[in-house]
Amino acid sequence: MQYIPNIIFVIALIAGIGYFTKNIRKVIRNIRLGKDVDRTDNKKERLNNMMMIAFGQSKMVRRPIAGILHVVVYVGFVIINIEVLEIIIDGILGTHRIFAFLGGLYDFLIGSFEILALLVLVSVLIFWIRRNVVNIRRFKTLKGWPKNDGNIILYFEVVLMTLFLTMNAADLQLQNLGAEHYIKAGSYPVSQFISPLFNGMSEGALILLERGAWWMHIVGILIFLNYLYFSKHLHILLAFPNTYYGDLKPKGQMDNLEAVTKEVMLMMDPNADPFAAPAEDEAETEPEKFGASDVTDLNWVQLLNSYTCTECGRCTSECPANQTGKKLSPRKIMMDTRDRLQEVGDNIDKNGSFVDDGKQLLNDYITQEELWACTSCNACVEACPVSISPLSIILDMRRYLVMEQSAAPSDLNNMMSNIENNGAPWPFNQMDRLNWNKE
C-alpha cells in the first residue's frame, strides 16, 4: 500500500509526457509537410545565433519593459525546473527533498527558486495588466481565443508559483514542528512570510496542505506541458531550433527561385532546342508550382516559424502598412499559416492522408489585399525576437498570385510590362537612358 503514491506518480508522469510526445510528433510531422530548404550550412554562426537570440534573449530586451520582465519569467522557468527534477525523483522514489544532502548549496538553490518565484509572480502580474488594462495596441487587437490563450498561460504561471511557495511554507512549518520525514533543509526567504498564515494548524493538516500543494504543482506542470501544443506557447521550445535555422543572408536578399532559373537559362541558351521532347524522366512529372497558395508550398522553416510564433505582435506594431490602417498584419500572416497547417495536419490524422477540403491558405485565410499592402521593408523581420520572417511568406504568396494566377494589381501589371518592353518600370525608351546627361 505504501507504494501507491509512487505508482500514481509514475503513471501521471508517463501519461503527461507520453501525450505531449505524441502531439510534438504531430508538430514535427506537420513541419515536414513543407518543402525542403537547406539550412545545414554555417553551423557555428547558427549556434551562435541560437545562443544569443534564444538562450541570451538579445532581441527581447530591445523593448526594455517587456524584455526584462520576459527575462525574469524565462530565467525563473529554466532555473525552477531544477526543482522539478527533485520533485520527479522524490515522486518516483517516495523520498522527500532528496537533494537536501547538498547542504549549504541546497539552501542557496531553494532560496533562489523562491526569490525567482516571487519575481515571476510580479512579472506575470505586470504582463496581465499590460495585456488587459493598459492600452497597448498589439494586445488590444487580439480577440477571442488568442487573447484568452495569452491570459490562460499567465494564470498557469500564477497557480504554479503560488503552489510552489505554499508547499514550501507548509514544509517550513513542518520542519519547525519536527514532523517525521520533514528534515530541516533549504532556506525560505519568501515563504517564511507565508508560513505564519498556517500557525496553529495541526501536523496532519499541514502535511495534507504540503502534499496537496506538491501534487497539484507537479500535475499542474504536466498539464501546462500538454497545454503548449494547443496554445501559442510552443515558443518556449521552438525558439531554439527556430533561431538556429533562421535566415543568415542579408535581410534584403530574397531567394532566387531555382525552378525559374532553369526556365530562364533554357530561354537564354542559343543552343537549346525549343522542339526537344522532354527527357524520359521529366515527361511524367508535373511542372513545379511557382510560389505558394497553401502551407504545403511553403518550406519547412516557414512552417517552423509559424509554430514558433507566440503572437507578441512586435512585428505588427512595427509594420508601416499596419500602422497606417491597412489590413496587413505580419502577426496574422504567421497565425493564419499555423492555423491552416494545423487544419491540414488534422485532416491527415483523420483521413490517413490529405483529402482536399476545398480550402487553402490564400483567400481562405490570407487575403490578397493583405499581401499587396506589404512594402517589403523588413521591419517585421527585424522586430521578431525569435527570427521569424513573415515577409518570406508574403513574397511566396505574391509569387503564386503573379506567376500562376496573373492576379497582380493592374498598376503593377503596367509596371511589369514596362520593364519587359523597355527595361524600366515607367514607359520610357531604353535608348533615352543617357539623356539626363544632355539636359
Partner 1 sequence: MSEAVKVPTMAEYMAEGKRPEVLFWVGCAGSFDDRAKKITKAFVKLLHSAKVDFAVLGTEESCTGDPAKRSGNEFLFQMQAVTNIEVLNAYEIKKVVTACPHCFNTLKNEYPALGGDYDVMHHTQFLKSLLDEGRLKVEGGKFKGKRITFHDPCYLGRANNVYEAPRDLLRKLEVELIEMKRCKRNGLCCGAGGAQMFKEPEPGNKDVNIERTEDALETKPDIIAAGCPFCNTMMTDGVKSKEKEDSIDVMDVAELIANAQDL
Binding residues vs partner 1 (CB under 8 A): 249-254, 256-257, 260-261, 263-265, 267-268, 290-291, 318, 320-321, 323-328, 369, 372-379, 381-382, 395, 397-403, 408-409, 411-412, 414-416, 419-420, 423-426, 428, 430-439
Grid cell 492555423 is found at 339
Q: How far apart are CA 297 and CA 432, in angstroms?
A: 42
Query: 173 near 201, Cβ under 8 Å?
Result: yes
Q: Locate 25 and state its grid cell.
A: 510528433
Closest distance of CB 47 from partner 1, Å: 21
Which is closer to partner 1, CB of 102 or CB of 377? 377
Closest distance of CB 45 from partner 1, Å: 15
Q: Locate 239 and state its grid cell.
A: 525558439
Q: How far apart are CA 239 and CA 243, in angstroms?
A: 6
Which is closer to partner 1, CB of 8 or CB of 264? 264
Closest distance of CB 193 from partner 1, Å: 43
Q: Locate 430 and state its grid cell.
A: 531604353
Closest distance of CB 381 from partner 1, Å: 8
Which is closer to partner 1, CB of 109 or CB of 292? 292
- Neighbouring-strand partners of residue 299: 35
Q: How far apart are CA 331 and CA 336, in angstroms?
A: 9
Q: Locate 100 and state its grid cell.
A: 537536501
Which is closer to partner 1, CB of 94 or CB of 320? 320
Q: How far apart are CA 209 and CA 163, in angstroms?
A: 10
Closest distance of CB 115 from partner 1, Å: 34
Which is closer to partner 1, CB of 215 or CB of 290? 290
Q: How far apart are CA 291 and CA 287, in angstroms?
A: 13
- Over its C-alpha atoms, the chain yields an Rg (Å, rounded) of 28
Which is closer to partner 1, CB of 296 or CB of 317? 317
Closest distance of CB 250 from partner 1, Å: 5
